[in-house]
Structures are given as C-alpha cells and as structure tokens.
Amino acid sequence: MSQGREICPGVYWTGVKNPDLQVFDELFPTRQGTTYNAYLVKGKDKTALIDTVKEEFSDEYFDILTSIIATEKIDLVVVNHTEPDHTGALEELVRRHPEIEIYCTRAADNFLKQLIDIPLKTHVVAEGDEIDLGGRTLRFILAPNLHWPDTMFTYLPEEEILFSCDAFGAHFCGDGLYDDEVGDFSGEYRFYFDTIMRPFKEKIREAVSKVASLPIRLVCPSHGPLRRQGAREAIDGYARMAAPPADEGLRALTLTLSPHGNTRTMAAAVRRGLEEFGVKVVELALYEAEEGEIRDELEQADALLVATPTINRDAPPPVWKALSLLSTVTPKGKVGGVFGSYGWSGEAVKQVEDRLTGLKYTLPEEGIHFRFKPTESDVQACQEFGRKIGRYLVDQSKAG
C-alpha cells in the first residue's frame, strides 16, 4: 500500500502506486507499472487538492488523504485534466464533501458534467488566474491538448513547484518517489512522449514557452517519479523532442513492403519521377523499419507514399501497423499516394487510399497497381505517377 509523503512543509504527495500494471488503458505497455500522482497543498487559510486517482484505487487514496487531513477540511480540488485516471476518485470526494469547490478549465467543466452525474461546484479558470491559500498561491497555466483539450498546469510559486499533469511524466513505478531515488527511466519518459504527447508538438511548444522562464525546482507530473534532480531537464527534453523539423526542401516518404521485389521495382520508378521535380525521397522497408524512424520521417515528409502488395485480399499487417502511427504524430504534409503489385487480386491499394483520405490526406493521383512483375510500360506509368505527385508538391509549395 502507498503512503503519503511530505514533499516540502505543508505539501504532500497523496498518490498511489501500481507496480503490477502491464498495459495502461489497454493500449500502452508499462514494463515498470505506473503511479497515479495526486497532491495536497496546505495554506494558512485554505487547503487544496491537486487531482485525485483512478477509481479502483479510491479506498487507498482516501486512507492516505485522511491520515493527513479530514476530508471536510479540504476547501477545493484542482482538476488539471479530467481523464479517469486523474478524476476517478472525484465523485466519491464530492459525495463525502458536497461543498468542495472544483477549479478547472472550461473544457474540463464541460467534461466533468458528462463524467459525473451529481451536482458539482465548479469554477472555470483562465490563463494566469490565481487562488490565495494564505501564504501560498496556486497559479493556473493553460496547456490545452497536452494531451486532452482540458489540460492545464498548476504552479506554486512560493515553493517553485509545477504540477504538470501528464506532461513530463512517465509510466514508471520505482521504489522511491523522486527521480534520484529510482533507476534510469529515460526510456519510459521517451516512450510516454512518443505514444501520448507527440501528436501535439505545436501545443507542447506553446506550453513549454509558458513555463520556460519560471523558477522551477520540482516538477510533479501525474505519472512516474517527481523530478527534483532533473526538473529543468524534463522540461528541456520536451522542448527538444517537440522542436519543428528543419526545412530542407520538398521531401517524400515511401513506405515499402515487397515480398517478391515487384512493388520495390515500382517504388524505384516512382522515386525517379519525384526526383525530376527536386523532391528528396526517403524509402523505408517496412519489414525492418523501426517505429521511431517512421514517426521521424512522417514529421518531415511533405508527401507519404505507400507501396503495398495485396495478400489474401488485404494490405499486409506491416502496412496497417505503419499507418496506425499516423495518429501518433502531426505530419508535416498531408499529400499521399498509393501503388503496388498483386497476384490474384488487388484490393490493397484502394483500401490504403480509403485510410489516407479518412485521415484527410489529399491524393493528387488515383492509385495504381499491376499484376505480378511490372512490365516496361508499367514502370513508365509508375515514373509518370511520381512526376504528377512531384509536380503537385512543387505547385503547392509555390502557392504557399
């Protein structure tokens, strides 16, 4: 069972640990479990909670909380983010203390009223709003889309503590509470960024700019170790990982799967057509490409080309796995093209086109596919396919 811990006089960690968790939200592997971090801040006049925990840990949470303070003596709770792993115990908190005040963003206010079907005393906060607890101040910093529209940070200037919600966190449950009390979790920190935060790089840059000049000695995220040794490094790491790609001219990414070499032959011809218009082409073979490599290239590419065979009337699993990464990044460009060879049937090209158009990609040219080994005229058609997409990219670039 977790125990509350005073992180500075009058400020407590009141979260719970879940070291046995293997998959978070049935989506992300967690080799080292996770923590559900929540906090309590005492001022001379008021006491505030910063978030709660996942509902299944409510009993443990209230045992920790009431060992520090009686529930009815808590004046307010700050909801930095309404996802159930942060607000799971909130309904029970309100049932125990119906007069408690809830401070949150406008989006969070809307979400809470859909998540919790009992009366709530909510107060919508704006950028820079503050609450005076008596000698201690809670200042609100809006950070929408890190990673939900409702997210905000809460800053305690007197102690230089940033309660950063999901930002700068990691799914990692160590024996200690702080980053200097546990082993290396840099891999989990990066994995958390890649799988949860990466699609929102522009919003990350905006949020980081708001806290870059603040004195911060302790970052208290919603998951993983509290960052006291690496507080600034946690923030700077996000700034580096969210930096916009350098502009190196027009660039196309081709994702290729070619069991018998025929689709790769087509890809080579498409490449020649693109290069005639000065487009740099990066080709990744899906049987060996790493997910991180694909994500990096998607963020730099002005166009995405998918070269896929048809196997058993479908695009093969590596193709669909690669396309699933599109939801984890913000692509630089949304121009696409699809081509490939097939044997008995050729459904894959149309299936992948439908997926790309569903993701709001523009397809300047209808996809092409040829049976078995492409003929010389087929290869010429592929090169022309590349030319047309290259010409479209150039025209789009000139237009602006």
pLDDT in tens, 120-141: 999 999 999 999 999 999 999 9
Strands 5-8 and 11-13: antiparallel
Q: Which of 241, 268, 288 is the last residue of a domain?
A: 241
Find out whether 165 and 153 touch, Cβ atoms under 8 Å.
yes
Residues 283 and 222 in one domain: no
Give yes or no: residues 270 and 352 share one domain: yes
Domain co-membership, 231 together with 188? yes
| Residue given tokens 């809460």 in the structure block | 154
Check if the beta carbon of residue 42 is closer than 8 Å to that of residue 134: no
Cβ within 8 Å of residue 182, ≥6 positions away: 172, 174, 175, 176, 225
| Least-confidence region, from 32-46, 233-247, 368-382 | 233-247
Residues 266, 227: one domain?
no
pLDDT at 104: 98
pLDDT of residue 1: 55
Same domain assignment for residues 79 and 210: yes
- What integer is the mean pLDDT of 78-104? 97
Tokens read off for 152: 């905000």
Structural domain count of the chain:
2
Domain interval for residue 115: 5-241
pLDDT at 248: 78
**What proportion of the chain, given as a percentage, has pLDDT over 70?**
99
Q: Are 137 and 11 within 8 A, CB to CB?
A: no
For residues 323 and 352, is the Cβ–Cβ distance under 8 A? yes
Query: Bridge partners of 57?
Result: none
Q: What is residue 21's predicted lDDT score, i.e. its pLDDT? A: 84
Are 219 and 274 members of one domain?
A: no
367 inside domain: yes
Does residue 400 sit within a domain?
no
Instruction: Compute the distance between CA of residue 68 and CA of residue 256 in angstroms, rounded to an integer.
Output: 58
Rounded to an integer, the average pLDDT of 282-301 is 94
Q: Which of 90, 84, 99 is nearest to 49 (CA)?
A: 90
Q: How far is CA 343 from CA 261, 308, 312, 319, 339, in A?
A: 13, 12, 10, 17, 14
The whole-angstrom separation of Cα 83 and Cα 146 is 12
Q: The tokens 């800053």 sit on which residue?
A: 155
pLDDT at 201 over 70: yes
C-alpha 223/C-alpha 371 separation (Å) is 51
- Label residue 167 by pLDDT band (50, 70, 90): very high
Tell me if 180 is assigned to some domain. Answer: yes
Q: Which of 238, 148, 232 is nearest to 192 (CA)?
A: 238
Task: Report how far residue 27's alpha carbon sits from residue 23's, in angstroms, rounded to the nearest whole number.
Answer: 6
d(CA 218, CA 226): 7
pLDDT tens digits along 7-23: 999 999 999 999 998 88
Shared domain for 183 and 310, answered yes or no, is no
Assigned domain for 246 exists = no
Which of 241, 270, 285 delimits the end of a domain?
241
Closest listed residue to residue 303, CA positions, set 330, 279, 329: 279
- Domain co-membership, 212 together with 274: no
* One domain for residues 222 and 331: no
Q: Do residues 150 and 194 share a domain?
A: yes
Q: Which of 194, 212, 241 is the last residue of a domain?
A: 241
- Please check whether residues 61 and 163 belong to one and the same domain: yes
CATH no. for residue 357?
3.40.50.360
* CATH number of the domain encompassing residue 63: 3.60.15.10
Position 2 pLDDT exceeds 70: no
Do 163 and 287 fall into the same domain? no
- The pLDDT, as a whole number, for residue 101 is 98
Q: How large is the average pLDDT for residues 337-354?
A: 94
Of 93, 62, 61, 88, the residue nearest 76 (C-alpha): 93
Residue 327 above 90 pLDDT? no
